[in-house]
Amino acid sequence: MRRLARADVPVDETWKLEDLFPTADDWQNELNAVLGDIPSVSAFSGRLAEGAVTLLECLEAMERLMMRMLRVGVYAFLRFSEDGSNPGNQAMMGRVSSVEAQMGALTAFIQPEILALPDGTVERYLEDEPRLEPFRRRLGQILSNKPYVLSHETEAALAALGEVFGAPNTIYQLGKSGDMTFEPVQDSKGQEIPVSFATYEETLELAPDAILRRSAYSSFSEGLKRYQNSFGGAFGAEIKKNVAIAKIRRHKSATHMFLHEQEVSEEFYHNLVSTIQAGLAPHMRRYVELRKRVLGLDKVMYCDIEAPLDPGFRPDIAYEEGCGLIQDAVEIMGPEYSRIVRDALQERWIDRADSIGKSTGGFCAPVYDVHPYILTTWGANMRSVFTIAHELGHAVHMVFSSRNQRLINTDMSRVFVEAPSTFNELLLAQHILSQQCDGQMRRWVLMQMLATYYHNFVRHMLEAELTKRVYALAEEGNPVTAALLSQLKGEILEEYWGGVVAMDDGARLTWMRQPHYYMGLYSYTYSAGLVTATVVAENLASDGQAVAEQWVRVLKAGSTKKPLDLAKMAGVDLEDEATVRRATDYVGRVVGELVQSF
CATH number of the CATH domain containing 227: 1.10.1370.20
CA 436, CA 424: separation in Å to the nearest integer?
21
Question: What does 457-498 look like in DSSP terms, one character per residue?
Answer: IIIHHHHHHHHHHHHHHHHTT----HHHHHHHHHHHHHHHHT
Instruction: Give which of 522, 524, 519, 518 is closest to 172, Cα–Cα.
Output: 518
The answer as to whether 260 is a domain residue is yes
CA 261, CA 283: separation in Å to the nearest integer?
33
HSE at residue 325, side-chain half, CA atoms within 13 A, is: 28
Same domain, yes or no, for 131 and 21?
A: yes
Same domain, yes or no, for 593 and 462?
A: yes
Give the gyration radius of the chain's Cα atoms: 24
Same domain, yes or no, for 458 and 565?
A: yes
Instruction: For residue 498, report the phi and psi dihedrals to the nearest 5 degrees.
Output: 60, 30
Same domain, yes or no, for 230 and 292?
A: yes
Same domain, yes or no, for 19 and 129?
A: yes
The per-residue pLDDT for 443 is: 86
The answer as to whether 328 is a domain residue is no
The per-residue pLDDT for 243 is: 97
Neighbours of 5 (CB within 10 A): 13
The answer as to whether 379 is a domain residue is no
Same domain, yes or no, for 500 and 425?
A: yes
HSE at residue 145, side-chain half, CA atoms within 13 A, is: 23
Same domain, yes or no, for 203 and 287?
A: yes
The per-residue pLDDT for 440 is: 82
Domain boundary among 125, 144, 165: 165
CA 303, CA 116: separation in Å to the nearest integer?
55
* Overall domain count for the chain: 2
User: From residue 77, how far is each of 66, 231, 434, 491 by CA, in Å?
Assistant: 16, 21, 39, 35
Same domain, yes or no, for 201 and 310?
A: yes
HSE at residue 358, side-chain half, CA atoms within 13 A, is: 28
The per-residue pLDDT for 40 is: 96
Same domain, yes or no, for 418 and 557?
A: yes
The per-residue pLDDT for 517 is: 93
The per-residue pLDDT for 438 is: 79
Name the residue range of residue 29's domain: 6-165
CA 346 to chain CA centroid, Å, is: 23
CA 3, CA 63: separation in Å to the nearest integer?
42
Domain at 110, CATH number: 1.20.140.70
The answer as to whether 96 is a domain residue is yes
Same domain, yes or no, for 122 and 233?
A: no
The per-residue pLDDT for 206 is: 87
The answer as to whether 58 is a domain residue is yes
Same domain, yes or no, for 27 and 152?
A: yes
The per-residue pLDDT for 165 is: 93
Q: Which residues of the chain have pLDDT under 70?
A: 1, 436
Same domain, yes or no, for 206 and 85?
A: no
The answer as to whether 294 is a domain residue is yes
The per-residue pLDDT for 461 is: 92
The answer as to whether 447 is a domain residue is no
Q: In sequence order, which ranges of 375-437 are alpha helices (DSSP H)?
A: 382-404, 414-417, 419-434
Please, are residues 19 and 344 in contact by the beta-carbon 8 Å criterion? Answer: no
Please, are residues 448 and 427 in contact by the beta-carbon 8 Å criterion? Answer: no
Q: pLDDT for 98-107, tens place per residue?
A: 999 999 999 9
Neighbours of 321 (CB within 10 A): 11
Please, are residues 61 and 333 in contact by the beta-carbon 8 Å criterion? Answer: no
Domain boundary among 117, 146, 165: 165
The answer as to whether 111 is a domain residue is yes
